Amino acid sequence: MNRTLAIAALVLGALAAIGGSPYRAQHANVDAARLARAIAHEDDHVTALELAEWIRDRKPRLRIIDLRSEREFATYHLPRAERVPIEAIPSTPFARDETLVLISDGGAHAAQAWVLLQSLGYRDVYFLRGGLGEWLDDVMSPAKPSDLTRYFGGVPRATGDEAAYGGGTSAAVKAMRRRGC
Partner 1 sequence: MTAPLVDFAAFSAASQLAIAVFIGLAFGFALERAGLGDARKLAGQFYVTDFTVLKVMFSAIVTAMLGAYWLARLGVLDLARVFVPETYVLPQLAGGALFGIGFVLAGLCPGTSCVAAATGRGDGALTVVGMFAGVLATGLAFAPLRAFYASTARGSLTLPQLLDLPYGVVVCAIVAIALAVFRIVERWERRAA
Chain residues in the site for partner 1 (CB under 8 A): 1, 6, 9-10, 12-14, 16-25, 91, 93, 95-97
Asked if residues 162 and 170 have their Cβ atoms less than 8 Å apart, the reply is yes
In angstroms, the CA 82 to CA 159 distance is 31
Q: Which is nearer to partner 1, 19 or 167 (CB)?
A: 19
Closer Cβ to partner 1, 28 or 108, answer by number:
28
Task: State the minimum distance, in angstroms, from the CB of residue 124 to partner 1.
Answer: 14
- Residues 6+ away with beta carbon under 8 Å from 83: 66, 67, 68, 70, 73, 77
Closest approach, Cβ 113 to partner 1, in A, equals 17
CA–CA dist 108, 115 (Å, integer): 11
Residue closer to partner 1, measured from CB, 80 or 179: 80
For residue 72, the minimal CB distance to partner 1 (Å) is: 27
User: Min. distance of Cβ 152 from partner 1 in angstroms?
Assistant: 28
String of DSSP letters for 76-139: ---TTEEE--GGGTTTS---TT-EEEEE-SSSHHHHHHHHHHHHTT--SEEEETTHHHHHIIII
For partner 1, the closer CB: 3 or 71: 3
In the bound complex, what is the minimum distance in angstroms from residue 22's beta carbon to partner 1? Answer: 4
Specify burial of residue 164 (Cβ count, 10 A radius: 0-12, 13-18, 19+). buried
Cβ distance to partner 1 smaller for residue 16 or 30: 16
